[in-house]
Amino acid sequence: MPSIPHTQSATRSPIQATFTAVSDLPLDSTDARFRAAEFFAGIGLVSLALDEAGIDVVWANDIEPVKARLHAANFDSAHYVIGDVRGISGSDLPQIDLATASFPCTDLSLAGWRKGLAGEQSGMFWEFARVLEEMDDRRPATVLLENVPGFATSHGGRDLYDAIRRLNTLGYSCDIMRIDARRFLPQSRPRLFVVGSTKAVGDRPLWPDELRPPHVVDFAARHADLRLHAGPIGLPDPDVKTLADFVECVPGTSEVWWGNERAQAFLDSLSPLQAGRLEDLRAAGEVTWRTAYRRTRAGVAVWEIRSDPVSGCLRTARGGSSKQAVVEAGQGSVRVRWMTAREYARLQGVEDSFRFSDLSPNQVMFGFGDAVCVPVVAWIAKAYLRPLLGAGGRKLVFN
């Protein structure tokens, strides 16, 4: 599908927009709390985020027992249904105002061979839509989807088109946003969010920005047949914290640090660029931290160190290439170790009070690697979802 030139989409796009300015809508004028269902709930981080905005998750579902155990260790799991979403029907859900779905990303990434929404994992989106359809007149007024940026490009944008068209048939106008967790904490974790609303009316031109980059505007311009909108919100100022604010203080004598042989293999794998970067960090007068990933270059496994004090995107810890190492360097020394489960939790915006129960570090990291970044979803809930939910049945248009 050919792309519309940037100049054309930036001038005016046929994308539809809705809502009066979010700042004009009271956050909580009645102290009411709203009700949500969390599909593909995992360890419950969407619930944690929504709670900050006065939205209670009253029903949740996931198929992974390990994630359910982490959820049960930290939340009331009486409403948590463990099992395949294909076994859920619309009549199983209580009355709700919002439905969220962080459906599996596997088939939308290279790891899933780009099968897209036709894949067995990412195709669970269709089951989410089926349940919404079966809810009929009890269907929630608002939905929130979360997935990897590849959702926007999978099959040339066809998967995103099909998903939004399906939501359109259920009465939802959709907003598409790309947000990187880096704006909220030191983890590079770009994600695509879709907000669907049955209250959307009106239209306005859409301009490319960080929240809706050119490819999103181009997508809207190419698909004037879709019911789309753009909520009038802007991203908050970036957070200035670095990895130093999130790493665990591990004594130099701890066995967690790699031994001489393993550490030397790490150093030997570095390219001249990477080795020079590490040497500059080692020679510095203060101790700093960086993360490193194992990559395959020209058929050889090597380590690459990030140039900034930011974590790479956290992943499920199911293979060596998916795990990040933490490099501590400065004042003439270098130490290397694996990132800890607690650091995974912190970098997803979770307090140290979050309990890991009796799960292994890899099981914990599996749960967090598949989860959402709490401050990102909390911001969306406060700045966008809560005002939208609190608007009642009014038609919201731009002045």
Q: Average pLDDT for residues 175-184, to the nearest whole number?
A: 97
Which single residue is written with the structure tokens 């198929």? Answer: 63
> How confident is the model at residue 152, as a pLDDT?
85
Give CA–CA dist 51/57, Å, rounded.
8
Residue 202 reports pLDDT greater than 60 = no
Residue 317 banded pLDDT, cuts 50, 70, 90: low
Task: Give the CA distances from residue 220 to residues 16, 134, 145, 166, 169, in Å, rounded to whole numbers and listed in that order.
Answer: 9, 28, 17, 16, 17
CB contact at 8 A, 54 and 34: yes
Pairing verdict, β 55-62 and 80-82? parallel
- Structure tokens given for 319: 């293979």
Higher pLDDT pick, 317 / 164:
164
> How confident is the model at residue 250, as a pLDDT?
93
Measured in residues, the chain has a length of: 399
CB contact at 8 A, 381 and 193: no
Interior angle at CA 9, CA 158 and CA 237, nearest 5 = 95
Residue 277 reports pLDDT greater than 60 = yes
> How confident is the model at residue 201, as a pLDDT?
52
- Structure tokens given for 389: 């939910």
Residue 7 banded pLDDT, cuts 50, 70, 90: very low
Q: pLDDT (tens digit, 9 = 90+) per residue, 340-356?
A: 999 999 999 999 999 99
Sequence-distant (6+) residues with CB within 8 A of 168 are: 174, 226, 227
Helix (H, G, I), strand (E, B) or coil at 360: coil
176 DSSP β-pair partners: 194
Q: pLDDT (tens digit, 9 = 90+) per residue, 122-137?
A: 678 999 999 999 999 9
Residue 110 banded pLDDT, cuts 50, 70, 90: low
Q: Tell me which of 104-118, 222-236, 369-383 is least confident.
A: 104-118
Per-position b or e across 187-220, b if 16+ CB within 10 A of its CB: bebebbbbbbbebbeebbebebeebbebbbbbbb
Q: Average pLDDT for residues 44-67, to the nearest whole number?
A: 96
Q: What is the dihedral of CA 315, 319, 320, 323, to 10 degrees?
A: 20
Q: Average pLDDT for residues 361-389, to the nearest whole number?
A: 95
Give CA–CA dist 245/102, Å, rounded.
28
> How confident is the model at residue 25, as a pLDDT?
44
What DSSP state is assigned to residue 235? Answer: P
Residue 55 reports pLDDT greater than 90 = yes
Give CA–CA dist 38/101, Å, rounded.
6
Residue ranges of domains in the chain, CATH in brackets: 6-239+369-389 (3.40.50.150), 249-339 (no CATH)
> How confident is the model at residue 12, as a pLDDT?
41
Share of the chain above pLDDT 90, in %: 73
Residue 206 banded pLDDT, cuts 50, 70, 90: confident
- pTM of structure: 0.89
Give CA–CA dist 349/375, Å, rounded.
6
Share of the chain above pLDDT 70, in %: 82
Q: Among 362, 338, 358, 341, which Cα is nearest to 350's?
A: 341
Sequence-distant (6+) residues with CB within 8 A of 339 are: 291, 311, 323, 324, 325, 326, 365
Pairing verdict, β 142-147 and 190-197? antiparallel
- Structure tokens given for 378: 């909390």
- Structure tokens given for 154: 């999978």
Residue 32 reports pLDDT greater than 60 = yes
Other beta carbons within 10 Å of 23: 11
> How confident is the model at residue 20, as a pLDDT?
38
Higher pLDDT pick, 156 / 26:
156
Residue 367 banded pLDDT, cuts 50, 70, 90: very high
State the amino acid at position 193 in one-letter form: F
Task: Kindly provide the residue ranges of all beta strands, DSSP E only, lying in the chain, ordered along the sequence.
Answer: 34-39, 55-62, 80-82, 98-101, 142-147, 173-180, 190-197, 288-297, 300-305, 324-330, 333-338
Give CA–CA dist 203/98, Å, rounded.
23
| The 324-330 sheet, strands edge to edge | 300-305, 288-297, 324-330, 333-338
Q: Average pLDDT for residues 368-384, to the nearest whole number?
A: 96
Q: Return mean pLDDT, the chain.
A: 87
> How confident is the model at residue 106, as a pLDDT?
66
